[in-house]
Amino acid sequence: MQPEFLMALVNILADTSKSQVVRMAAGINLKNFFTSKDAAVKLQYQERWKTFPDDIRCHIKSMVLQTLGTEPSRPSSAAQCVASIACVELPFNVWPEVIPTLCRNVMEQHSTEALKESSLEAIGYICSDIAHPDVLATKSNDLLTAIILGMRKEEPSNFVRLSAAKALLNSLEFTKANFDKTSERHYIMQVLCEATQSPDEQIRVAALQNLVRIVTLYYQYMEHYMGPALFAITIDAMTSQKDAVALQGIEFWSSICDEEVDLAIEAVDAEEAGKPPEQTSKHYVKGALSYLVPILLQTLTKQSEFDDEDDWNPCKAAGVCLMLVASCCENDVVGFVLPFVKENIGHSEWQHRDAAVMALGSIIEGPEPNALIPVMNQAMPMLIRLMESDSNIVVCDSVAWTIGRICELLPAVAVNTDFLATLIVALKNGLAGEPRVASNVCWALSSLAEAAYENEEVQGGDQPFTYALSAYYGDILKALLETTVRQEANSSNLRSAAYESLMELIKNSAKDCYPVIQMVANVIMERLQTVLRMESSVQTADRSQYVDLQCLLCATLQSILRKIQSNDVAKWCDNVMQVLLLMFNSSTGRTGTIQEDALMTVGTLVEVTGMNFLVYMEPFKPFLLMGLKNVAEHQVCLAAVGIVSDLCRAFGAHFFPFADEIMSILIKNLGDTTLDRSVKPHIFSTIGDIAMAIEGNFKVYLEIVLGILHQASQTKVVKEDFDMIDYLNLLRESCLETYTGIAQGLKGNADNPSVDLGLLRPHVPHIMQFIDSIAIDDDHSDGTISTSAGLIGDLCDAYGNNEILSLVTGNVQGMLQEGLKSRESKTSKVCAWALKELHKAK
């Protein structure tokens, strides 16, 4: 796009003689010159703007500012253009006059309503979209002054007040300095509270949205306002007949619940660390229970039979809020909810029955099990009767959900023999009901199977011979198989839910259920073969469902393979591998989703066959290499990388003939900038598995791998980006695992360490420096502590002298001591072992 074209666009936008449609189109095109949903493309656009001559850029900026307040329609196109340019230039200290100009437009007495409104819109867009909010922190006083002036009740224009309220919402992140000052905070809160009383619904909603955000960002300052204002304002909003207002009132208390749950966790952590918490909970929710819970319960009764499942309404919000209240207040909530449940669960109006069931399901997580088990044992027969006999689909759906929650969180109730048989009958019948109900029933059956399995205490975690579901197991699985082929199985995600339930029941099965699993295995294999034969006849419109079905069948097959008894493995493997090779060879097998699931199924086959999988390597290897090279579809590449690790564990030294080709691809992938970064830590870990498997034969790859590891160990990330911090910890952990694999592999399994260990010795100081850099990083994870300790112990074991101890810094010693106190037993044990090895090294 040439500068001349932009000049033409801005001139049209500024020309008041043009029609508004034409001006709006020009504004949209001008804005789109600067922005894109794709971050890389957006950066290219911004760099392109910087190459324009200064005079053209100045003219365009001047014209968009002049256009503010001249458009007869809302929202302002000029405001969007001003914000788009400002977001490019402000981070580089260019266009410094834009913020003062916008603020002056709002604050000048003679500014028109349209100018104030569009200027506030521009401020809101800038605050929302700017990539570096700290740029605006120095301007927060001016911005807030303009915004609060626009929000005041004295402002005659509701349009201006609404734009100001929206701008404030977008500015709250970087106005901490203003909230830290008591006088400024008081004034902001006063204006906001006044705005919540506006007769204009949109202003009221926007003001409440601000309160929701403020209570999250500035919880510690809310005590002064909660009693005198916020409690009454938000409780009143919750009872509003206007859904948009009620939603914000409920959201306010949901946000407080979230904060107070987090503060409770922080208080426990601080107590364990022997220090006071940074913030303490004011227990606002507990203090408001007697007012809050009755309103939430009443709101649950306001649903409509015609509510869209995907629409967010006060009824759904109230259910979520009640769950958060239960998590926050625990046992205290039970006494407020049970009377409502008893009064309404048999009500003649379905809305009240549904509200009672939803209330019961919403408080299952939070209170102590001992407080709920007697209650749920009493309630379960009523829930089963409702499941079997209630004529309303919404009630049945809620009952299925609540039973699922009970099975998941209160397993002792789920397997109670007093009503287990009738519960299973009700759930089986529910599978034939409306798809939305049947989908929840599938989840309930999954939770019931897990509850029954965990209820059988077997030493060593072995599979129990029998369990509570054994007598009903065959009927349940047959009903689920029938559900997967129901005509309405595409509705409410029912087919997926039924297959997922099938997988969970197979996973959580007792030994005496094995004949049923064999029957299911035959059905799944037949379905896979049938689906593959159908490929050429599938219409384009049905292709997506066809692919989804193959993936579900593959996933189910994985669950079955993990349960196949060792004496039956051989007779199943040939057929399974034959079907999987057919899938790889089919046209749909070339699609990423199918490749990924087929590869994962092969991985499961490797787990159960072990060394015997060698016979399949010749026909399978081309598809493995194809998956490893598929950097464009990183999930496929990741699945292939996982199989390489599985093969290493299964084959051991017999993996060596395949190592060259695979190592070549893995090393190439590590240097490929187009491969999603999430795959690379897994590649490092897999290289460690290869080193451990092929032992001394790995030395041919040693120098290049150590060079890549050295480079990866120097990786730095922006500390403000929590996702990148997590990634860095994962990358470091995988590098440590690779070093561990190399050290153990070169040492070998013989009683006397191999001479190949000497090849790694020159690199040990760097490895210890790497561990030291992890130790001094305050953001190191439990995983990096554990793998660091494991590697230190292995190095001590490998070299058996004082050189490791001489390289261990005080920082590393401190990290090992930290690991001893870890809540993860594995970490504490590994750190104890590492310290013992270091002590032996003395």
Q: What is the pLDDT of residues 24-34, one digit of tens each?
A: 998 888 888 88
Q: Which residues of the chain have pLDDT under 50?
A: 842
Q: Using alpha carbons, list the distances in angstroms from residue 604 to 96, 359, 607.
A: 61, 42, 5
Q: Which residues fall within 8 angstroms of residue 587, CB to CB, at 6 or more apart? A: 535
Q: Which amino acid makes up residue 471? A: A
> Whose CA is closest to 322, among 342, 354, 299, 349?
299
Whole-angstrom Cα distance, residue 89 to residue 85? 6
How far apart CA 26 and CA 384 sit, in angstroms, is 62
Is the preceding peptide bond at 339 cis, omega within 30 degrees of 0? no
Listed in sequence order, the residues at least 6 apart from 174 whose beta carbon sits closer than 8 Å to its beta carbon are: 127, 133, 134, 136, 137, 140
Query: Quick check: 165 and 207 in contact, CB under 8 A?
Result: yes
Place of tokens 């077997």: 458
Q: Map residue 176 onto helix, strand or coil.
A: helix
Read off the pTM.
Answer: 0.80
* Crossing angle for the helix pair 201-217 and 158-171, to the nearest 10 degrees: 20
Residue type, 278: E
Gyration radius of the chain's alpha carbons:
32
Rounded to whole angstroms, how far apart are CA atoms 428 and 441?
8
- Joined together, the tokens standing for residue 597 give 């699931």
Return the axis-axis angle of helices 702-713 and 722-747, rounded to nearest 10°: 150
